[in-house]
């Protein structure tokens, strides 16, 4: 399928399963959707990001070759998108044959140490997948999550005690989930 046909298919706005199948059948689909995700068109790049998350969950091997491009979103100014990209990356780590994680882990730890509740929460959502794919990261991640007592969280530059409480609960949920997976 050529590029014109891929863009035509994307304009149809079919359900996600249609595009997951298309990605498995056409080698050009992932670079096109990655390019859309990197664009400045906010509604389209969010949709492309969610689609890549779904594809990376179902078939990480077809997305993994583009991890370098996908991770560029982390450094972009569109904050929420840059945080959400961790969901895609955590899906790809199961097949990290080039050990690309080494280039990204400090940025992930910055997100896990963030004072912004949304960024911290998304980093927590990815912690178990990261530890599953990279077991050596368990200690640094759990050390951060266990050290929540004196952390403050902010919403729009304003101290938010409620967010601090939510963050502590989120950290405890991840720690509980990690303990449960060890018990099984």
Higher pLDDT, 19 or 167: 167
Q: What is the pLDDT of residue 25?
A: 77
Residue 20 shares a structural domain with residue 53: yes
88 with 158, same domain: the answer is no
Average pLDDT in the chain = 88
Q: Which pLDDT score is estimated for 176?
A: 95
Q: Identify which has the larger pLDDT, 134 or 17.
A: 134
Number of H helices, E strands in the chain: 11, 2
Dihedral sign of CA atoms 138, 140, 141, 143 in order: positive
Strand-strand pairing, 158-159 and 154-155: antiparallel
**Structural domain containing residue 77:** 1-97
Q: Does the CA dihedral 169-171-173-176 come out positive or negative?
A: negative
Given 97, 132, 166, the domain boundary residue is 97
Tell whether 81 and 105 lie within a shared domain: no
Half-sphere exposure (CA, 13 Å, Cβ side) for 3? 5
Whether residue 106 is predicted with pLDDT greater than 90 in this model: the reply is: yes
**Helices 117-133, 79-92: inter-axial angle, 10-degree rounding:** 10
Q: Are 8 and 84 part of one and the same domain?
A: yes
Answer whether residue 71 shows pLDDT above 80: yes
């Amino acid at each position: 399928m050529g590029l014109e046909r891929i863009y035509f298919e994307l304009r149809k706005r079919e359900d996600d399963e249609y595009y997951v199948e298309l990605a498995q059948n056409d080698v050009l689909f992932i670079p096109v959707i990655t390019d859309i995700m990197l664009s400045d068109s906010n509604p389209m790049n969010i949709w492309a990001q969610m689609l890549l998350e779904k594809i990376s969950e179902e078939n990480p091997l077809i997305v993994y070759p583009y991890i370098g491009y996908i991770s560029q979103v982390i450094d972009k100014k569109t904050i929420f998108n840059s945080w959400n990209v961790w969901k895609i990356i955590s899906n790809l780590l199961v097949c990290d044959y080039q050990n690309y994680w080494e280039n990204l882990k400090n940025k992930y730890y910055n997100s896990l140490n963030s004072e912004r509740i949304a960024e911290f929460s998304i980093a927590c959502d990815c912690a178990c997948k990261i530890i599953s794919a990279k077991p050596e990261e368990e200690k640094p991640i759990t050390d951060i999550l266990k050290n929540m007592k004196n952390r403050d969280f902010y919403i729009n530059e304003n101290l938010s005690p409620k967010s601090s409480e939510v963050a502590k609960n989120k950290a405890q949920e991840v720690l509980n989930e990690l303990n449960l997976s060890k018990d099984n």
